[in-house]
């Protein structure tokens, strides 16, 4: 099967809201009046962002999910995406599963595949998403103010715990219940982007980011852009029952610095706490208050007694020396 048959078979669907989709030199979209476009790109490389053993369907899901998570962090509504796929050979079984996982998530978020590029090379997937947000209402990293509460959605740390088991850094037996590994593996392979929550937080949150590289690392981006500091209460971080059963030190480290969580980390003035809770309710996603924004730059992490925990907990940096990871 050649490149064009492959595209026609796996990645061409009837256009819906797009004016023109796959098959021409460009896709055409008509922006909704009064809206700004929100655009974001993420690449997934084999061995770096996913294990070679991952099911194709999960990979298809995840490569769109991590991009939708960026739209969620801006409070944007997904519209369309493009897919640049590099793969060593045409493998129909792989492509079938991959397209199924990808397009099922796209369907759920009404986000159309409108174009892309297909090349031979090492397995790598780049998705570019396009969303829309009413003019001036996008959630940004720069809006946090001293006194704001610090909130996070869902739970943190499971995806990294699964990775540590895959890497044989944590024995599966230490996870407890028989199905515990399956549960954390699901968090790693099938993240659910918090799109509805991001939209519900427009006009409520003062700043937002999605947690992809670890809570503290991503919090650092908000603090830097906002010119503020923060205090994080490590033992308030929401975690699954599997993580809750882990020793304190491991639980804190995975929650604070694990990464691959795709939850929303956001700030809001204390007076908006009820509005935050109703946004969470409307999006059917739990949210937890985990700390406070402070005027003094820098970030403090404290335990349940308020004692400082001052390990360095690096965020994930692809170009950091190996020894830092
Ligand atoms: P061009 O020569 O203009 O780069 P291509 O031959 O690469 O166009 O692609 C032909 C059409 O198929 C274009 O509309 C492109 O957007 C689309 N396309 C290519 N690869 C993919 C893919 N993986 N998923 C969706 N659409 C794709
Ligand atoms: Mg091309």
Model pLDDT for residues 93-137, shown as the tens digit of each residue: 999 999 999 999 999 999 999 999 999 999 999 999 999 999 999
Q: How far is the CA of 118 from the centre of ligand 2 (A)?
A: 6
Nearest ligand, CA 116? 1
Q: Is the pTM of this model over 0.85?
A: yes
Residues at Cβ < 5 Å from ligand 2 ion: 117
Tens of pLDDT, residue by residue over 266-310, are 999 999 999 999 999 999 999 999 999 999 999 999 998 999 987
**Of 324, 298, 292, 296, nearest to 310 (Cα)?**
298
Return the structure tokens found at 12: 């061409």
What is the DSSP pairing of strand 112-120 with strand 207-211?
unpaired
Which residue's CA is the nearest one to ligand 1's atom 3?
25
Q: How far is the CA of 7 from the centre of ligand 2 (A)?
A: 11
Phi then psi for 293, rounded to 5 degrees? -80, 135
With H, G, I as helix, E, B as strand and everything else as coil, classify residue 127: strand
| pLDDT above 60: residue 322 | no
Radius of gyration of the chain (CA): 20
Q: What is the DSSP letter of 24?
A: B
Q: How many CB atoms within 10 Å of residue 79?
A: 24
CA distance linking residue 60 with residue 54, whole number of Å: 10
Atom of ligand 1 nearest to the CA of 117: 20
What is the DSSP pairing of strand 229-233 with strand 124-134?
unpaired
Tell me what pLDDT residue 3 has: 85
pLDDT bin (cut points 50, 70, 90) of residue 323 is: very low
Any residues with Cβ below 6 Å from ligand 1, and which? 7, 11, 22-25, 83, 85, 113, 115-118
H helix intervals, the chain: 3-11, 56-74, 92-108, 158-166, 180-189, 195-200, 215-226, 241-244, 248-257, 273-283
């Amino acid at each position: 099967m050649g490149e064009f048959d492959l595209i026609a078979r796996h990645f061409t669907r009837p256009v819906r809201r797009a004016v023109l989709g796959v098959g021409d030199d460009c896709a055409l979209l008509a922006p909704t009046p009064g809206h700004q476009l929100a655009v974001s790109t993420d690449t997934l490389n084999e061995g770096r962002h996913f294990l070679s053993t991952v099911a194709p369907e999960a990979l298809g899901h995840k490569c769109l999910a991590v991009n939708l998570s960026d739209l969620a962090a801006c409070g944007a509504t997904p519209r369309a995406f493009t897919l640049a796929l590099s793969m060593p050979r045409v493998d129909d079984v792989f492509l079938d599963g991959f397209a199924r996982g990808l397009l099922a998530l796209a369907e759920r978020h009404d986000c159309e595949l409108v174009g892309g590029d297909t090349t031979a090379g090492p397995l790598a997937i780049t998705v570019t998403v396009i969303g829309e947000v009413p003019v001036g209402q996008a959630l940004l990293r720069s809006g946090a103010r001293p006194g704001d509460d610090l909130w996070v959605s869902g739970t943190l740390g499971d995806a990294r715990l699964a990775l540590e088991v895959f890497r044989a850094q944590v024995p599966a037996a230490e996870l407890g219940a028989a199905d515990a590994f399956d549960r954390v593996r699901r968090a790693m392979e099938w993240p659910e982007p918090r799109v509805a929550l991001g939209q519900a937080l427009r006009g409520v949150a003062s700043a937002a980011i999605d947690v992809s590289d670890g809570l503290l690392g991503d919090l650092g981006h908000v603090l830097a852009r906002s010119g503020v500091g923060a205090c994080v209460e490590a033992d308030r971080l929401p975690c699954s029952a599997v993580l809750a059963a882990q020793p304190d030190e491991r639980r804190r480290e995975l929650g604070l610095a694990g990464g691959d969580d795709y939850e929303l980390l956001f700030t809001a003035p204390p007076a908006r706490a009820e509005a935050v809770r109703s946004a969470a309710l409307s999006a059917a996603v739990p949210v937890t208050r985990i700390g406070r924004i402070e005027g003094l730059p820098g970030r403090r992490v404290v335990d349940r007694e308020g004692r400082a925990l001052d390990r360095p907990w690096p965020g994930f940096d692809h170009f950091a020396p190996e020894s830092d990871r």
